């Protein structure tokens, strides 16, 4: 096994990714964080150095299972305590059974907003050959606000409740341009706005790895004039399927094949938020032929709003390349009804199965070793799952007592991939058969908004919106989070925690930092 070492030096300073100057977080001087490329057989050794002024941080590798290394999941309050400013920590893990497109991001409070980068695990050569592409490109999409994550968090948790609102910008590879841009003087090396350019050579076929690192927005991604064939979702190979546009939720990744067989020029690619009333319309970037005679600099007219339309989901067309090895038998079904609740004191939270989840101060996994889990308050107690159990989770979305709407939610599970068994409108019931044969193994799924209600007449509290069902084998002893990947929702309590195989959790490595 080859060990590949990476240093992630986190610093903060001024930058203007969309032309608006603010403090941003750099990794090794780059924003967004540099991509990490490894082979499936590699072991990763990642040293995270927290060079922030005052905030504690941790770095999570999203979608990497951390099989046998639960303490290196990088999740503050769960797998470790956050790394204080000025301190460092080394994570070491292998990615044995996984390949494809992943990401890493900060995982403490609302910091996810600020640090994200691509993780690419190459398939073994014999698999790579069967995918038929000449080269690859990575496109990281994100959403961006002008105020700080700390200000956002204060508003979300305080009374009166203040929602973060729609982002000011949709970035591609960390940049875009806001209208009427004029820069303040920037320090040398600072990130400044512009339109990201992806260069292709004529006639070649590319694997575009597209990552949604947004913290709020479900995105639609378009490449005009070119056919996209989707071949990978969250590390699982798919039957190559032609799609008109890509739809990806926060935390999801797809690979699409593109052949540069069109007129040699610039094309405006776009990302747009779906089901948000007033989201940014500047998600532009350029697909450039290396032999283009002219180059574009001004994007076409504003993108159409993607509001209350009732689309047919792209996801419905996707099929796994190989028959999925889903346990056919139903698992222990856990039913999670969730909704937004406006509380009497003026605060607003998200409830999952009647509880607003509160992350414990001391990491759950460390509390396991200290034998203090039993003392945790009800709001923080993890659910215990026996090792090896097949678990079905039904995510049921309902209207809360705040605003009468059905929203979409990207749900993500740590420590395991799961089979996506599909979803539907209204209320799930045990008579609904799971579509086992088309299940795609992934780590982030969408609970869609109720297909017709969004943006329309407010619905009464308690109305069922829709549901989604997932199945996984609890084969990775450790402490793990299941949560909405809208970071504001996570902060507002939209999470559940599990302790898997309590008596089988391996001993903590010596010298593991407790902070």
One of 220, 412, 468, 489 touching ligand C2O (CB under 6 A): 412
CB 194 within 8 A of CB 380: no
CB of 484: closest distance to Cu ion in angstroms? 3
CB nearer Cu ion, residue 207 or residue 409: 409
CB 170 within 8 A of CB 140: no
Of 248, 256, 215, 116, nearest in space to 174 by CA:
116
Reduced 3-state DSSP string for 29-57: CECCCCCEEEECCCEEEEEEEECCCCCCE
The alpha carbon of residue 104 and the mean position of all alpha carbons in its chain are separated, in whole angstroms, by: 9
CB 253 within 8 A of CB 211: yes
CB nearer ligand C2O, residue 46 or residue 459: 46
CB of 449: closest distance to Cu ion in angstroms? 11
Which does residue 489 touch among Cu ion, ligand C2O, none (CB within 5 to 8 A, set by kind)?
Cu ion
- Residue 100 contacts ligand C2O per CB under 6 A: no
d(CA 236, CA 306): 28
CB of 422: closest distance to Cu ion in angstroms? 19
One of 77, 276, 483, 489 touching ligand C2O (CB under 6 A): 483
CB under 5 A: which stretch of 19-27, 101-109, 233-241, 405-413 binds Cu ion? 405-413
CB under 6 A: which stretch of 155-163, 236-244, 369-377, 478-486 binds ligand C2O? 478-486
Q: Which residue has the closest beta carbon to ligand C2O?
A: 62
Size, binding site for ligand C2O by CB under 6 A: 11
CB of 494: closest distance to ligand C2O in angstroms? 11
CB nearer ligand C2O, residue 25 or residue 414: 414
- Residue 409 contacts ligand C2O per CB under 6 A: no
CB 243 within 8 A of CB 230: yes
CB nearer ligand C2O, residue 105 or residue 229: 105
Q: Which residues contact 485 (CB under 8 A, 6 or more apart)?
A: 215, 249, 250, 251, 409, 410, 411, 412, 444
Question: Is residue 182 helix, strand or coil?
Answer: coil
CB of 354: closest distance to Cu ion in angstroms? 17
| Angstrom distances, CA of residue 149 to CA of 175, 179, 249, 485, 489 | 18, 23, 20, 15, 13
d(CA 10, CA 49): 6
CB under 6 A: which stretch of 184-192, 329-337, 385-393, 479-487 binds ligand C2O? 479-487
Which does residue 484 touch among Cu ion, ligand C2O, none (CB within 5 to 8 A, set by kind)?
Cu ion
CB of 196: closest distance to ligand C2O in angstroms? 22
CB 305 within 8 A of CB 256: no
CB 280 within 8 A of CB 273: yes
Structure tokens at 360: 């414990």
Structure tokens at 125: 């050569």
The alpha carbon of residue 78 and the mean position of all alpha carbons in its chain are separated, in whole angstroms, by: 18
User: Which residues within the stretch 322-361 sit at the binding site for Cu ion (CB under 5 A)?
Assistant: none
CB 280 within 8 A of CB 167: yes
Q: Which residues contact 88 (CB under 8 A, 6 or more apart)?
A: 47, 48, 49, 50
* Residue 458 DSSP symbol: P
CB nearer ligand C2O, residue 8 or residue 481: 481
What are the φ and ψ backbone dihedral angles of 154, each rounded to 5 degrees? -60, -45
- Residue 442 contacts ligand C2O per CB under 6 A: no
Q: Annotate each residue in 485-514 with x if it binds Cu ion (CB under 5 A) or - if it does not, as one string.
A: -x--x-------------------------
Size, binding site for Cu ion by CB under 5 A: 4
CB nearer ligand C2O, residue 144 or residue 282: 144
| Cα angle 285, 287, 289; round to 5 | 150
Of 335, 486, 494, 470, nearest in space to 416 by CA:
470
- Residue 484 contacts Cu ion per CB under 5 A: yes
- Residue 60 contacts ligand C2O per CB under 6 A: yes
CB nearer Cu ion, residue 320 or residue 400: 400
What is the number of other CB atoms lying within 10 angstroms of the CB of residue 129?
9
CB nearer ligand C2O, residue 127 or residue 383: 383
Structure tokens at 502: 């309590």
- Residue 107 contacts ligand C2O per CB under 6 A: yes
- Residue 214 contacts Cu ion per CB under 5 A: no
One of 251, 320, 466, 501 touching ligand C2O (CB under 6 A): 251
User: Which residues are at the interface with ligand C2O (CB under 6 A)?
Assistant: 60, 62, 75, 105, 107, 251, 412, 414, 481, 483, 485
User: Which residues are at the interface with Cu ion (CB under 5 A)?
Assistant: 409, 484, 486, 489
């Amino acid at each position: 096994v080859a060990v590949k070492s990476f240093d992630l030096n986190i610093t903060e300073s001024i930058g203007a990714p969309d032309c608006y100057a603010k403090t941003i977080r750099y990794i090794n001087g780059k924003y967004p964080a540099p991509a990490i490329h490894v082979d499936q057989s590699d072991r990763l050794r990642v040293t995270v150095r927290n060079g922030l002024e005052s905030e504690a941080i941790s770095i999570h590798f999203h979608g990497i299972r951390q099989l046998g290394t639960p303490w290196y999941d990088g999740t503050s309050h769960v797998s470790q305590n956050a790394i204080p400013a000025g301190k460092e920590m080394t994570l070491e893990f292998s990615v044995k059974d996984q390949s494809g497109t992943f990401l890493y991001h900060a995982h403490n409070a609302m910091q996810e907003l600020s640090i994200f980068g691509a993780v690419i695990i190459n398939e073994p050569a014999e698999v790579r050959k069967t995918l038929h592409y000449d080269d690859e490109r990575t496109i990281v999409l994100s959403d961006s606000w002008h105020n700080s994550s700390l200000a956002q968090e204060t508003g979300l948790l305080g009374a009166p409740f203040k929602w973060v609102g729609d982002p000011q910008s949709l970035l591609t590879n960390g940049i875009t341009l806001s209208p009427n841009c004029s820069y303040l003087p920037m320090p040398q090396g600072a990130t400044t706005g512009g339109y990201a350019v992806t260069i292709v050579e004529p006639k070649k076929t590319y694997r575009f790895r597209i990552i949604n690192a947004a913290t709020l927005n479900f995105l639609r991604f378009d490449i005009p004039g070119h056919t996209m064939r989707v071949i990978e979702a969250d590390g699982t190979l798919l039957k190559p399927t032609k799609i008109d546009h890509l739809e990806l939720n926060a935390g999801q990744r797809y690979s699409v094949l593109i052949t540069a067989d069109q007129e040699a020029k610039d094309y405006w690619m776009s990302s747009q938020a779906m089901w948000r009333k007033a989201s940014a319309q500047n998600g532009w970037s350029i697909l450039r032929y290396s032999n283009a005679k002219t180059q574009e600099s001004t994007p076409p007219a504003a993108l159409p709003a993607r509001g209350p339309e009732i689309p047919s989901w792209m996801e419905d067309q996707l099929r796994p390349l190989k028959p999925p090895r889903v346990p056919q038998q139903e698992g222990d079904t856990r039913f999670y009804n969730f909704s937004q609740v406006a509380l009497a004191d003026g605060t607003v939270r998200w409830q999952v199965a009647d509880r607003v989840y509160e992350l414990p101060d001391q990491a759950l996994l460390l509390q396991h070793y200290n034998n203090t889990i039993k003392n945790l308050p009800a709001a923080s107690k993890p659910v215990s799952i026996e090792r090896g159990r097949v678990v079905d989770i039904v995510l049921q979305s309902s209207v809360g007592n705040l605003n009468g709407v059905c929203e979409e939610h990207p749900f993500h599970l740590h420590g395991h991939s799961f089979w996506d068994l599909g979803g539907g409108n209204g209320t799930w019931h045990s008579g609904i058969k799971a579509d086992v044969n088309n299940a795609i193994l992934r780590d982030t799924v969408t609970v869609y908004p109720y297909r017709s209600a969004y943006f329309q007449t407010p619905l009464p509290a308690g109305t069922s919106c829709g549901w989604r069902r997932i199945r996984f084998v609890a084969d990775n002893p450790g402490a793990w989070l299941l949560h909405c990947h809208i970071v504001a929702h996570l902060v507002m309590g939209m999470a559940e925690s599990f302790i898997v195989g309590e008596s089988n959790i391996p001993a903590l490595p010596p010298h593991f930092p407790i902070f």
